[in-house]
Structure 1
Amino acid sequence: MDSKSEDNHSSHEKPTYEKEQRMAGKAIDHADHGAESELRRSLSTRHLTMIALGSSIGMGLWLGSGTSLTNGGPAGIFLGYSLAGSMIWSVSHSIGEMAVMYPVPSAFVQWTGKFVCPSAAFALGWAYWFSYVITIANELQGVVTVLGFWTDKVPTAAWISIFWMVIIAISIGAVTIFGEVEVIASTIKFGWIFVVIVSMIVISAGEGGAVGFRYWNDMPFTNGFKGFLSNSGLVAAETANPRKSVPRAIGSIWLRLSLFYLLGSLMVTITVSPKDQDLFGGSGTNASPFVIAYRDAGLEPLAHIMNAVIFIFVLSTGSISGYGGSRTTIGLAQLGMAPKQFARADRIGRPWLGLACTLVLGGGLAYLNVSNSSANVFTWFSNLTSLFTLFGWGLICLSHIRMRHTWKIQGRSVSDLPWKSWTFPYAAWWGLSWCVILMVVEFYLAVWPLHEKSSAKMFFANYVSVIVIVVIYLGARTYHRGPWWVDASTIDLDDQRRFYADHGAEKARRKGFAGRASRVVGFIFN
């Protein structure tokens, strides 16, 4: 943490001081302290804000929504994004409350270890790292699809190799260079979404496009309830990652979800037929539904611009995943969950071992696209990522529930929380319940897949991530032994806690802790 930060007064008081003073009934008037870190961060608030904003819009919306439209139909894709949006909103509130109280590096892992159990934390940490790896592979195969709109003369392996090197170059450059690249990319991404929404409304109302909700009337669900289920699981991987969206975005999460995903997916359903063979995964050009909408409306220049913007999205997400994956290994090493060599970085903050493992494995997996169709590879990787995501979201909500439970049985007052979510406990239980339900749904679809015959190959392709999580968890259980749950009565609630001065806590309550949000984002992002 930057030593100049107003919230990081170096206090050597032990966290137990506040507890002792509270038990003695004394008023406490001290500067904020606790939960400090020796990590050095080079990304400014501007970088973090734009990365958070831009990373809310992924390839799933721009490209994968074509497959979702085909499988689920207009109503299926919209309801799928609505459900995923409600889950993100719930998870974000859980993160927000815990992030203000415990703004620690590798926060999700540490919260799980503190309130659930170390074995679950170990499984979560490595699941998150592997999800970054898979995302890199998925973005590289997305490059092949996007560039295929312009030419099919270049071999798939060549495109993957070229842009794998580009992502590596961005990732191993100075952190500030990475930050500037992402600021530019995020500005383009955020600005373009407004152009898309306005232009798609015009297209849907025009003579050459779909009028109103024609496709909703003709075929709201293309594959019935099973098609809707297939979308509900997949969109978890396609929507915003709360890790990069909170806590500053807590107050505006509905706006972002509505603008980016609900309106974005709605625009697809009123301009493109779910039976269009050119949709990603079809037998035609395998293009984005947004590109198809512009092209079918005779707006060829906009179709090319849209494809170019998607290309920027793909590279941006790939570089963010390289950055995030390598920093995740640092956090795991600091927690004793990875070899200590992963904690080492050079003088400008590059964790070479983490970068090498993340980028090499992510790029290597992308070559699966050479001998398989882009749509199949995208579906495999998206299924893997969505299940890792659901596992992570579920543990975040469970950690929040357990934190409040611990807070209560140890005699603490809810009013002592520096920021409390008005949604608790309903949102936390909503998010946790749907994570469990959708993981069961994904099991059903892995056994009886849509448009495919049941087979061991199909099952493992769609559900292997859960098997990996279970194996890692049981391996960690064998190592750690002990009880299945952390005993709530023994949890030290003041360990790693951030203590706020009274005036600061009141300000945080009134303003949704926006005054400290950028620094907490920095903590969690790193």
Structure 2
Amino acid sequence: MNKLAGATASTSEKMDKSVNPPTEWPTDVDHGAETDLHRMLSTRHITMIALGSSIGMGLWLGSGTSLGNGGPAAIFIGYILSGTMIWAVSHSIGELAVMYPLPSAFTQWASMFVDPAAGFALGWGYWFYYWITIANELQGVVTVLNFWTDKLPIAAWITLMWLVIVFINVWAVRLFGEVEVASSSIKFGWIIVVIISLIVVSAGGAPNHDAIGFRYWNAYPFTKGFKGFLTVMPTCIFAMSGSENCALVAAETENPSKSVPKAVGSIWLRLSLFYILGSLVVTISVDPKDVNLFGASGVNASPFVIAYRNAGLEPLAHMMNAVIFISVVSTGSIAAYAGSRTLMGLAHLRKAPKIFGKADKVGRPVAGLVMTLIVGGGLAFLNVTNDSATIFTWFSSLTSLVTLFGWSMICLSHLRMRHAWKVQGRSVAELPWKSWTYPYGAIWALAWCIILIIVEFYLSLFPLGKPTTAKNFFANYITVVAMIVIYIGAKIYYRGPMWVDASTIDLDALRRFYTKPDEEAPREKGVKGNIKNVIGFLFN
């Protein structure tokens, strides 16, 4: 179990051959598998889970608060900027996850390449993020179900949906993977329907025959000025957070060298469809001042649902709400999965109790699952006595800050890994997969993460439409305060310099070696072949 903490002497000697690699690597050298986890997930699982992680309450409901606070232009620009960031982060993940497919991924990468204290703070910060996400998605379920009925008490809805998430995660890992593939396929297929149908609605093709066009862009592109635009960014980051979970899934994937690059290579198209085009069609079909938007004074509905209802397409409004329901339950389930694996990685690094580093005979880290589900489920009951939009704002601010810290550490780990690779005299040709965006992609995302953390500090001090109070500040920025405190405590414990000495990093102890590059399946030619290839690219 503790092999992840370091390689044995004999293994290290064997790995020293990596400077001048042989023709084929031995197939038994796979430190990413030296845990109780089982490699039961395939390329389609890792790709669809990466997608499913980022399609939840942030897109379907959070777009309502962003549209009201920022306006059409603000939300569109916000998603474009956030999309470039996660695209760059995904490429950093690609290089690292193929070579180091570890249970808690970014936590272990940060500990290896940056600093053990940074890895400690990142790991526990991400665990906080995951159970906050569970709570946020559960309270989102209440908002969604209230569209149909408010007869059942909020606590009953939360409990029922929490049990669904528990069931998905305590069953076999492969069942979890299949559930997420199915739900992500539904989300992906539906967003295509949404984009096409809302374009038709905006053009006046709906039963109400109202040709909206760019009416709202012309009337108020930015509803509350530059500050309103800034308030959109945390929600955009929160909406796109979760795509990095493909790094965690790599530890339970049959062949990371094949699965991870495919997920990274296609994520730009999916994010473009989901967020950039999705946000655009919302801005041309929904009035930012609609009182029914989530966060406004009406029924707190999704802007997508409002678009269909205002257009007189009531059946599509109900179908949209059903897809939102599937999305939030799916995202909550992924958060439980990721939280338990993060605790496992922390335990292997001796940064968490040993019990969290163990899994049962079918590969479930039971202790980590129980802890994550209990804390996340318990926190969701805050929604019983508070306004759902207020709780969403708190949680999205907290999770977006952890996400920014996580993305920045992933990019920094990538830069540091390449630096160590160069310092130790290794060739870039030895990397099993190389990102063409290096180093500019990692630098771009890292710089924007730092800028947006500063922006959120400003918004926490001077919130939009609220007074400057200690309560407002800590409600929105407590994550950063907690991370700083955790980092300082860990730094005092671990001591040492600010950075790990690049020349002393063991680049092989936790590395997975591959016998040869994976061969891609031949692509069929002709019209029929092109259609099959496109479908395979989108859904596999």
Shifted more, 59-68 versus 98-107: the winner is 98-107
Indicate which of 129, 152, 175 corresponds to 2:173. Answer: 175
Residue 504 (structure 1) aligns with = 517
Q: Deviations over 1:414-463 (max 9, x none)?
A: 23322221111111110100010000000000000011111100000000
Distance, in Å, in 2 between the alignment partners of 1:113 and 1:352 is: 24
Instruction: Name structure 1 gaps, 5 residues minimum.
Output: 1-11, 512-526
One-letter amino acid of the structure 1 residue matched with residue 452 of structure 2: L
Residue 533 (structure 2) aligns with = none
Distance, in Å, in 2 between the alignment partners of 1:331 and 1:495 is: 15
Distance, in Å, in 2 between the alignment partners of 1:370 and 1:193 is: 31
Q: Within 5 Å, give how 1:459-478 maps onto structure 2.
A: 459-478=473-492
Q: What is the deviation of 1:321?
A: 1.3
Distance, in Å, in 2 between the alignment partners of 1:54 and 1:269 is: 23
Indicate which of 8, 11, 14 corresponds to 1:14. Answer: 11
Distance, in Å, in 1 between the alignment partners of 2:40 and 2:289 is: 45
Query: SS at the partner of 1:251?
Result: helix
One-letter amino acid of the structure 2 residue matched with residue 305 of structure 1: M
Q: What is the deviation of 1:322?
A: 1.4
Distance, in Å, in 2 between the alignment partners of 1:417 and 1:350 is: 31
Distance, in Å, in 2 between the alignment partners of 1:66 and 1:415 is: 47
Q: What is the deviation of 1:273?
A: 0.7
Q: What is the deviation of 1:18?
A: 5.6
Residue 225 (structure 2) aligns with = 224
Q: What is the deviation of 1:283?
A: 0.6
Shifted more, 207-216 versus 449-458: the winner is 207-216
Q: Within 5 Å, give how 1:24-103 maps onto structure 2.
A: 28-32=23-27, 33-38=29-34, 39-41=36-38, 43-45=40-42, 46-103=44-101
One-letter amino acid of the structure 2 residue matched with residue 444 of structure 1: Y
Distance, in Å, in 1 between the alignment partners of 2:268 and 2:50 is: 15
Query: SS at the partner of 1:419?
Result: coil
Query: SS at the partner of 1:14?
Result: helix
Residue 296 (structure 2) aligns with = 282
Query: SS at the partner of 2:71?
Result: helix
One-letter amino acid of the structure 1 residue matched with residue 234 of structure 2: G
Query: SS at the partner of 1:321?
Result: helix
Change (3 A) 1:73 1:189: same
One-letter amino acid of the structure 2 residue matched with residue 211 of structure 1: I
Residue 142 (structure 1) aligns with = 140
Residue 200 (structure 1) aligns with = 198
One-letter amino acid of the structure 1 residue matched with residue 213 of structure 2: G
CA contact (8 A) 2:261 2:433 kept: no
Residue 433 (structure 2) aligns with = 419
Q: What is the deviation of 1:29?
A: 4.1
Query: SS at the partner of 1:252?
Result: helix
Q: Deviations over 1:100-136 (max 9, x none)?
A: 2222222211111111000000111111111110011
One-letter amino acid of the structure 1 residue matched with residue 326 of structure 2: I
Shifted more, 333-342 versus 383-392: the winner is 333-342
Q: What is the deviation of 1:243?
A: 2.4
Distance, in Å, in 2 between the alignment partners of 1:166 and 1:419 is: 38
Distance, in Å, in 2 between the alignment partners of 1:173 and 1:99 is: 26
CA contact (8 A) 1:56 1:239 kept: yes
Distance, in Å, in 1 between the alignment partners of 2:169 and 2:62 is: 25
Matched, 1:328 2:328: no
Matched, 1:349 2:359: no
Q: What is the deviation of 1:13?
A: 7.4
CA contact (8 A) 2:241 2:400 kept: no
Q: What is the deviation of 1:404?
A: 1.5
Residue 370 (structure 1) aligns with = 384
Runs of 4 or more off by more than 6 Å in structure 1? none
**What percentage of aligned pairs have identical amino acids?**
64
Q: What is the deviation of 1:20?
A: 4.5
Distance, in Å, in 1 between the alignment partners of 2:335 and 2:61 is: 18
Q: What is the deviation of 1:352?
A: 2.7
Change (3 A) 1:320 1:34: closer
CA contact (8 A) 2:347 2:355 kept: yes
Q: What is the deviation of 1:34?
A: 4.2
Q: What is the deviation of 1:348?
A: 2.7
One-letter amino acid of the structure 2 residue matched with residue 40 of structure 1: L
Residue 244 (structure 1) aligns with = 245
Matched, 1:337 2:338: no
Residue 214 (structure 1) aligns with = 215
Shifted more, 404-413 versus 458-467: the winner is 404-413
Change (3 A) 1:388 1:299: same
Query: SS at the partner of 1:449?
Result: coil
CA contact (8 A) 1:58 1:240 kept: no
Distance, in Å, in 2 between the alignment partners of 1:44 and 1:62 is: 28
Q: What is the deviation of 1:137?
A: 0.3
Distance, in Å, in 1 between the alignment partners of 2:358 and 2:418 is: 35
Residue 188 (structure 1) aligns with = 186
Change (3 A) 1:169 1:18: closer
Query: SS at the partner of 1:485?
Result: coil
Change (3 A) 1:343 1:22: closer
CA contact (8 A) 1:134 1:365 kept: yes
Indicate which of 362, 386, 392 corresponds to 2:400. Answer: 386
One-letter amino acid of the structure 2 residue matched with residue 107 of structure 1: A
CA contact (8 A) 1:209 1:271 kept: no
Distance, in Å, in 2 between the alignment partners of 1:170 and 1:95 is: 26
One-letter amino acid of the structure 2 residue matched with residue 233 of structure 1: P
Q: What is the deviation of 1:187?
A: 2.3
Distance, in Å, in 1 between the alignment partners of 2:301 and 2:210 is: 17
CA contact (8 A) 1:280 1:289 kept: yes
Shifted more, 191-200 versus 229-238: the winner is 229-238
Q: What is the deviation of 1:343?
A: 1.9
Change (3 A) 1:47 1:492: closer
Residue 254 (structure 2) aligns with = none
Indicate which of 410, 414, 422 corresponds to 2:424. Answer: 410
Residue 516 (structure 1) aligns with = none
Residue 312 (structure 2) aligns with = 298
Change (3 A) 1:415 1:21: closer
Q: What is the deviation of 1:240?
A: 4.8
Shifted more, 318-327 versus 346-355: the winner is 346-355
Q: Deviations over 1:318-352 (max 9, x none)?
A: 11211221222122112211100112333333333
Residue 105 (structure 2) aligns with = 107
Indicate which of 309, 314, 325 corresponds to 1:311. Answer: 325
Distance, in Å, in 2 between the alignment partners of 1:56 and 1:210 is: 32
CA contact (8 A) 1:109 1:122 kept: yes
Distance, in Å, in 2 between the alignment partners of 1:482 and 1:395 is: 19
After superposition, the CA RMSD in angstroms is 2.2
